[in-house]
Structure 1
Amino acid sequence: MELAYARHFFQDSREECCALLPTAWGVRAFPRERVLRGLTRLEELWSENKRHDEDEAWRHLKLRLQGQAVPLRRPPGSSLALAQRMTSLLRATGFEWGDSVVDALKPGTVYVNVGQIGLAFPLLLRWLDRRPDIRPIFMLHDVIPLETPEYVSATAAKGHSAMVDQTARRAAGVIVTTRTAQAAVQAELGRRGAHALPTLALPLPVPTLFRESPDPEPALAGIAYFVVCGAIEPRKNHAMLLEVWKRLHRKLGPSTPHLVVAGASGWQGQQIRDGMQRSGAVSAHIHIVSGLSTPALKRLISGALALLMPSFIEGFGLPVVEAASLGTPVVASDIPAHREVAHPATVFVDPIDGPGWEKAILRFLDDDAAPIRLSREFSPYTWGEYFASLSSFIQTIERDDRPQRALPSVKKTVG
């Protein structure tokens, strides 16, 4: 999403723009040409763009689904590799000191920050104190760490509280992904004494590749598997799926379908992984994979009997929309965000209803039932439509003649 924003503003947009980057000597402004060189090199380095036949994680997963013994693969990474990538990026962009952000921006400039995590560090936004004419627009994907702090670390809850504090104190406008998230964000801002902020609820588009025809892996034809996609953490409810798979295995034995868990470990993720990998015979039917490229993920979801999304809470739920775009059926938790964005034919089940999830999954294994696919008439936003709506919102913020930020004292609230 952040890469799409950068490409839009620096490559496709005719508007005058510059990039603001934190450096050792403060937040500095950099020109369009340097940003474009950096983006090009970044995309060359990014494993998200690998073809599925170049993706080692995908190759290992295919072998495991076919019943071959393959050691569990962990995504490669080291400090040296990171340093080499950063050096490569610097060579592509060239070294520059950048310009003073306070002096470089024209009066009334709109500052768009969609990184969210950076908002947790007030030091990175302190330059705005010297430029009260600047109109910041911040994105908050959700306020889940404040709504349900039991699903995140204490550090994450504290950081998220800081993000909302900075939004309440500094923002001229807010971008969210759903009306569900909008209501939660506005409630949190209100608790901090913030005035009503212009807010754009704009659903995220699926990757362009997911709007193309599905392409299931021929080598996996006839292999029954389901996919759950997202960070491996308590909020995503993997533990319930593990219990469902144990029951399926007691009923079906060797005919138990496979469950592919696609995602990186989040808070308490290693504990969840350990449970899945140390559950006896059923563990042979559960496969954890991290670091899949976008083409490989599309191929994986294309061939699945269904995508499973049992989360306790979401601000959006992109995999639900990605799967529906490919015609892959979806079984999702019955929560407001999923109801808002999902395909009308989605099967909704309460996230704590294990027997209900088992029943929904067994439906896809019924040999007498016709293959279940969703209509691909389901049409999520395109990036073109997304940025057209965003442009209108930015223009609204530019025309807003209300007094600019008075930098009020914000009530501190920690989840």
Structure 2
Amino acid sequence: MPTPVGVYAFSAAQIRVFLAYIQALWAEDVGPAGDVQLHGLLKKILRQHDDDSPAPPPPPTPSLVFRDKVWRMLRMLYTTGLFPRGFAGRAVPANAIYLNIGQLGLAIPSFFDWLAKRPDIIRAMMVHDAIPIDYPHLVGNKAPLYHRQMIRTAAEYADCLIFNSAYTRASVSAVMQDFGRAFPPGLVRSLPLSSAFIDVEAPVPELRDTRYFLAVSTIEPRKNYALLLRVWQRFVATMGPAAPHLIIVGALGNGAETILAPLKSDPALAKRVHHVAGLSSPALASLVLGAAGMLCPSLAEGFGLPLLEANAMGVPTIASDIPAHREVATATTVLLPTDDEHGWARAITALPVVAACRARDIPAALTEAAYCADIVDFVSGVRAKTA
């Protein structure tokens, strides 16, 4: 854990307590029936009369949001006893493996100064994409600068790199060449399925007779939600009450208020398009299993996880024709241009009614255990070569 006075290490026992706390906080063990956000979503979908709809609460002020975050962090530290016990440079055992999969911290090089004093440690780092560099118009003004620093830090410190797709590896390699850096050994490994998607038993029963489609990702410009909202405006205008529902699952990102603005200005559209954030993995898995289709219209991705999840669960998929999606697509995935509104509308309406029983196809390679084993084998092999 980086702090203003140095980088600290924690024991495995401390981290297990912390992970159990997070698991409970995110309601990962309660199942769909106990998911508060899912119940709120169901009320919006199944209630068709505005007279019964309470006015939404006003959004919290920035000061309240900040205070809530600080309070949650302090409560977490107190509950889990997660307090630093030693500087990483001294506490980490000799010849250990340092595995960094978070990426964002790479934007602050000082977090990794301690590694310069520990040449015995093998450093494995995961880089998720190079999107802010390749598509600066799709992100915030400072994102390209931060992202270049992430890749620069990885180039300076990493003994090996982990990638989620061949497309990401090629993109990151091009940036490193611009830096004049040698490209370290790299592993391209598809992300696994969460165990919740493997263990899910049934769709959400309340939506058994509701035809709905899903789009899962942070609400931001590069996810291309504007295309889907235009398509659904077309459905509402031509199909009326028979129009299918669209459920958008994802946290609010940069520009989200503008993207979702049509839901406030168009009451008819708001009855068919619903946004929800904070779903547990079991709740999301149940929603995916009962969906008429998964829609992935992104302008750019490093990896298409929602597409992978839906394909494995036998749910029809329609995705933008971009490199990362081509790697994950199956023979039944419909790939379309990111601006073909008519094509997306035709493809969505052409999908069949949800089958009573999905034909799931979950190969062993998609399990979390297989993923972790491949990562360990790769990094251990790098360590053996450098010994």
TM-score, with length taken from structure 2: 0.90
1:401 lines up with 2:381 in the alignment: no
SS in 2 for 1:33: helix
Q: 1:104 to 1:275 in 2, by over 3 A?
A: same
Conserved? CA contact 1:45–1:85, under 8 Å: no
What displacement does 1:74 show? 8.9
Question: Amino acid of the residue matched to residue 272 of structure 2?
Answer: H
Write out aligned runs for 1:198-213 (5 A): 198-213=185-200
Question: Amino acid of the residue matched to residue 311 of structure 1?
Answer: S
1:285 lines up with 2:272 in the alignment: yes
1:87 lines up with 2:74 in the alignment: yes
In structure 2, distance between residues paired with 1:276 and 1:171: 45
What displacement does 1:212 show? 2.9
SS in 1 for 2:142: helix
SS in 2 for 1:112: strand
**Structure 2 residue aligned with 1:60:** 40
**Structure 2 residue aligned with 1:156:** 143
What displacement does 1:281 show? 2.3
Cα deviation 1:101-133 (Å, max 9, x = unaligned): 223334443211111001111121122232344
1:33 lines up with 2:17 in the alignment: no
What displacement does 1:175 show? 0.7
What displacement does 1:161 show? 1.1
Which of 179, 182, 198 lines up with 1:192 in the alignment?
A: 179
SS in 2 for 1:216: coil
1:215 lines up with 2:215 in the alignment: no
What displacement does 1:203 show? 1.0
Q: 1:253 to 1:391 in 2, by over 3 A?
A: same
In structure 1, distance between residues paired with 2:254 and 2:306: 20
Write out aligned runs for 1:269-348 (5 A): 269-348=256-335
**Structure 2 residue aligned with 1:43:** 23
Q: 1:373 to 1:41 in 2, by over 3 A?
A: closer
Which of 371, 376, 382 lines up with 2:360 in the alignment?
A: 376
In structure 1, distance between residues paired with 2:358 and 2:331: 9
In structure 2, distance between residues paired with 1:169 and 1:110: 16
In structure 2, distance between residues paired with 1:120 and 1:198: 21
Q: 1:247 to 1:106 in 2, by over 3 A?
A: same
In structure 2, distance between residues paired with 1:102 and 1:227: 46
Question: Amino acid of the residue matched to residue 150 of structure 1?
Answer: H
Conserved? CA contact 2:166–2:188, under 8 Å: yes
Question: Amino acid of the residue matched to residue 379 of structure 2?
Answer: I
Cα deviation 1:227-253 (Å, max 9, x = unaligned): 111011111110011111122222212
Q: 1:217 to 1:30 in 2, by over 3 A?
A: closer
1:226 lines up with 2:213 in the alignment: yes
In structure 1, distance between residues paired with 2:83 and 2:356: 56
Write out aligned runs for 1:13-32 (5 A): 21-32=1-12
What is the RMSD computed on CA atoms of the aligned residues?
2.4
Cα deviation 1:335-368 (Å, max 9, x = unaligned): 1211111333111111111111011011126xxx
In structure 1, distance between residues paired with 2:67 and 2:93: 40
Which of 163, 173, 178 lines up with 2:165 in the alignment?
A: 178
Cα deviation 1:76-114 (Å, max 9, x = unaligned): 984454344333432344365422322333444321111
Cα deviation 1:57-80 (Å, max 9, x = unaligned): 211211221134445579998445
Question: Amino acid of the residue matched to residue 35 of structure 1?
Answer: I
TM-score, with length taken from structure 1: 0.84
Which of 369, 373, 376 lines up with 1:388 in the alignment?
A: 373
Conserved? CA contact 2:248–2:273, under 8 Å: yes
Identity %: 35
- Structure 1: which 5+ runs fail to align? 1-20, 403-415
Q: 1:72 to 1:358 in 2, by over 3 A?
A: farther
What displacement does 1:153 show? 0.2
SS in 2 for 1:291: coil
Conserved? CA contact 1:321–1:343, under 8 Å: no
In structure 2, distance between residues paired with 1:146 and 1:31: 36
Q: 1:156 to 1:371 in 2, by over 3 A?
A: same
Decide which moves more: 280-289 or 305-314: 280-289
Question: Amino acid of the residue matched to residue 276 of structure 2?
Answer: V
1:125 lines up with 2:112 in the alignment: yes
- Structure 2: which 5+ runs fail to align? none
Q: 1:110 to 1:270 in 2, by over 3 A?
A: same
Q: 1:372 to 1:337 in 2, by over 3 A?
A: farther
SS in 2 for 1:138: strand
Q: 1:236 to 1:49 in 2, by over 3 A?
A: farther
Write out aligned runs for 1:231-250 (5 A): 231-250=218-237
Cα deviation 1:31-69 (Å, max 9, x = unaligned): 222222222223222244442222222112112211344
What displacement does 1:200 show? 0.8
In structure 2, distance between residues paired with 1:179 and 1:209: 26
Length, aligned pairs only: 379
In structure 1, distance between residues paired with 2:270 and 2:69: 33
Question: Amino acid of the residue matched to residue 361 of structure 2?
Answer: E
